[in-house]
Amino acid sequence: MSDAIVERDRALFGPLSETGRGFYLTVGVLGLAILWGAIAYAVQWSEGLGVTGLHQPVSWGFYVTNFVFFIGISHAGTLISAILRLSKAEWRRPITRMAEVITVMVLFIGAGQILVDLGRPDRMMNVIQYGRYQSPLLWDATSISAYLTASTFYLYLPLIPDIAILRDHLGKRRWLYAVLALGWRGTERQWKILNRAIAIMAVLVIPIAVSVHTVVSFVFSMTIQPMWHSTIFGPYFVAGAIFSGIAAIIVAMGIIRRIYRLQSYLKPIHFRYLGQLLLVMTLLWFYLTFAEYLTGYYGNEPEEMKVFWSKFTGPFWPFFWAMVVANFVIPMVLLVRLRHHAVGKTVVASAFVVVGMWLERFIIVVPTLSNPRLPFPEGQYWPTWIEWGELAASFGVFILFYVLFVKLFPIISIWEIQEGRDVGLKEVEERLLTYLPDGAADAAMPEREKVLT
Amino acid sequence: MALWGMVIDLDRCTGCQACVMACKAENNVPAVGPKEAARGRIISWMHVLREESEERTRFLPRPCLQCDDPPCTKVCPVYATYRNPEGIVAQIHARCIGCRFCMAACPYNAKYFNWLRYQKEGPGQNPDVSVRPKGVVEKCTFCHHRLQKARERARAEGRDLVAGDYVTACAEACPTRAITFGDLLDEGSEVARLARSPRAFRLGEELGTRPKVFYLAEMEGHRRV
Amino acid sequence: MNEPESAFDRSVRRTQWVLAGLAVLFVTGIVTWIAHLIRTAWRLGDVLSASIGISLVAIPVFLTLGGVIVYVFVGLLTDRSAR
Ligand code: SF4
Ligand code: SF4
């Protein structure tokens, strides 16, 4: 561990080579959360879904909310990273990897929510054997598996050169790294293949990601239930997904930066840029929410209004208004000026957005169900410890996977940082010159040369 | 081919719940017990709703409306609920994975879920109807097993199925004869005649689900024409 | 590359090819599955148009994904060029 490569980015190897007390403590706490979820699931498996708070007419609750929420979070990673890569944003370099990891881990958990939600998980194979494509659930299954494949591979591709570095320098887990490095030696041909594949995947992954949350929204909007049957739901869900996803990335960045002392890699500027992106998404989210609710309100259809008022002033008002505060008011206040304390402000705003977006999903799923068209004996939905357990375990599994990933692979792409230093700097300068009018570029050239020499 | 339908005369219904009880006995609909009932998990394929307005109280018995264009069957991922060629919306308990998507999609809340295992096979049950396990959706099937039996009997007697051979348990049980059942395509049948009555209306007509359960009510029918 | 391969290298190589095979198997599995769903819809007289419409999009996407995966695995694993 004394090569120049390792020496230059020593901080990035820290979590890979050393394991402290904090790690075991975290894993222990997460283990408890997961244990809670496991016990809850065992009870649910043997007793049936009756152990949850679900009933008639609220037959979907926490699990479906979590499904939409987690799939939403998963949007940030790969999508943002692909967009930043394609737009050649240089500041992406330390961020892309940690974003992509979120996607892959959270997608598994999101898809898992549906399995937890099934009344007969033992008959899951029926979906494969007798699935029918008229059901939006099958659209989800197809779209999510495409996204899972694509984003896993998209995470893996830029990992290959880093794994090769680990294989050659770390001295631990050699067999694993040797297998995963795919014989990477950094030849010209290998670089060509890798760069081309990354470029193709970056393009491919964007429409897939958009399709995923669109079809998740279709689960609701394809029915004819009040406040679900809405044409805006596709884009609304996608925007919300990106919104919550960016927030999740920022929170993850804030925590990782703190724990692994990566302040020199994840700088305030990164938080500021992402914070501005988050601000844009806040506004977009508010715009779409406004459009959605005003249309319902103005149309004044009795069935829609029942749901509408139950959200605004009825039993769901605390959730609804908390959502508005967490998703709009707080981010607006914190994010408009990011000159100072960019890190703290964006992380706090993002934490609120994550909670707010969970509430948003809840406020979409439950009020519609609890206000049926026909006068129906109503019951209030409140989750039991089983559902809380699944929620805790979902977060537990997510964080545990993340922590393990950080233990096994560099969470900041080593080669991309180095490429930024060695190639990126020059490239950006040249690219800048091509943006300028021709004369200006020619005029600037000799000037610059003079300065440099 | 028939198209089975039902007409319920609200001006005759007294809300006596005889249809509800008859349905429970006929279809082995489980009694969930007071604790589960308090949690909103009563299963009642036929459910008598109460509509209260200033001038009157009205009862509205609601089975599954057997929509001719059912929103519930479209969303089922595994073909566990489908519209059969005679228009009955069937439910295959052995295939249902319990996703409850159909419950979310039914605009009339006609579907019920077995949140727990509510009953085991035992004496006193109707042997023609399966006892549902936990974790699956169930609903009114227009007493489909009665159609099968009626067909078999007709075949054994070497004749065609005639009106009155196949009637649902609720229609049989109603003391005020508010429920009429039969083939909507058979022009001469009682059901077809009543369904064309100016008093007739359907629930949620504007949703385009085309229920095959019609209601009769003096004011309602005119208003909705 | 004339040095004899060690047991370590051989097990690494073999695992890499197994991984590549699994990836291909996964993608072909999904494509077969989608085709199976079309067949099921046809046999049950179910909504065939939905199955065909979706598979028209889904199958090419999965094939492209599989193509890129194969391209990378084969390209990197068979690379013998000098550095
Ligand atoms: S009433 Fe509900 S359950 Fe019955 S057919 Fe219509 S949508 Fe389906
Ligand atoms: S609950 Fe059963 S019948 Fe209803 S949509 Fe799901 S699988 Fe189909």
How far apart (Å, rounded) are the C-alpha atoms in residues A355 and A248?
10
Measured from the Cα of B91, ligand 2's closest atom is: 3
Is C68 among the domain residues?
Answer: yes
The Å distance, Cα B197 to ligand 1 centre, comes to 23
The CATH number that applies at residue B84 is 3.30.70.20
Q: What is the DSSP letter of A323?
A: H
ipTM for the whole complex: 0.90
Average pLDDT over chain A reads: 88
| C61:A204 CB<8 A | yes
Is-contact B66 B88, C-beta < 8 A? yes
Looking at the 3D structure of chain B, how many domains does it have? 1
pLDDT one-digit tens code per residue, C48-75: 999 999 999 999 999 999 999 999 998 8
Domain A3-412 has CATH 1.20.1630.10: yes
Who contacts C22 (Cβ-Cβ below 8 Å, separation ≥6)?
Answer: none
Strand partners, B174: none
Is C44 among the domain residues?
Answer: yes
Residues in chain A: 453
Is B42 among the domain residues?
Answer: yes
Q: Is the CB of B141 under 6 A from ligand 1?
A: no
CA nearest ligand 2 atom 5, residue: B76
The Å distance, Cα A15 to ligand 2 centre, comes to 47
Strand partners, B60: B49
Low-confidence ranges of chain A (pLDDT < 70): 1-4, 377-379, 439-453
How far apart (Å, rounded) are the C-alpha atoms in residues A337 and A352?
17
Output the tens digit of pLDDT for each of chain B's 225 residues.
Answer: 889 999 999 999 999 999 999 999 999 999 998 999 888 899 999 999 988 877 778 899 999 999 999 999 999 999 999 999 999 999 999 999 999 999 999 999 999 999 999 988 888 899 999 999 999 999 999 999 999 999 999 999 999 888 888 999 999 999 999 999 999 998 888 999 999 999 999 998 889 999 999 999 887 654 443
Is C17 among the domain residues?
Answer: no
A1's tokens: 């561990």
A336's tokens: 């408009």
Listing DSSP states for A175-209 in one string gives HHHHHHTTT----HHHHHHHHHHHHHHHHHHHHHH
Domain extent for B214? 4-220
How far apart (Å, rounded) are the C-alpha atoms in residues A382 and A54?
8
pLDDT of residue A211: 93
How, if at all, do strands B4-9 and B213-216 pair?
parallel
Looking at the 3D structure of chain C, how many domains does it have? 1
Is-contact A270 A88, C-beta < 8 A? no
Which chain B residue is nearest to residue C47, measuring alpha carbons? B74
Q: Which of A58, A59, A307 to mutate to test the interface with B (most CBs of B within 10 A)?
A: A59
Domain extent for C58? 22-77
Who contacts A29 (Cβ-Cβ below 8 Å, separation ≥6)?
Answer: none
Residue B152, classified by CB atoms within 10 Å of its CB into exposed (0-12), middle (13-18) or buried (19+), is: exposed
Is C13 among the domain residues?
Answer: no
> HSE (CB half, 13 Å, CA atoms) of A272?
10
Which chain A residue is nearest to residue B108, measuring alpha carbons? A374
Who contacts B28 (Cβ-Cβ below 8 Å, separation ≥6)?
Answer: B119, B125, B126, B129, B130, B131, B132
Is C57 among the domain residues?
Answer: yes
Size of interface A-B (CB pairs under 8 A): 139
The residue extents of the domains of chain A are 3-412, 413-453
Distance from CA of B174 to the nearest CA of A (A): 22
Q: Does A302 touch chain B (CB under 8 A)?
A: no
Is C10 among the domain residues?
Answer: no
Is B145 among the domain residues?
Answer: yes
B69's tokens: 């264009």
Q: What does each C-alpha distance from A34 to A29, A117, B90 come to in angstroms?
A: 9, 17, 40
Residue among C61, C76, C81 whose CB faces A182 most closely: C76
Is B225 among the domain residues?
Answer: no
Is-contact B104 A60, C-beta < 8 A? yes
| C76:A194 CB<8 A | yes
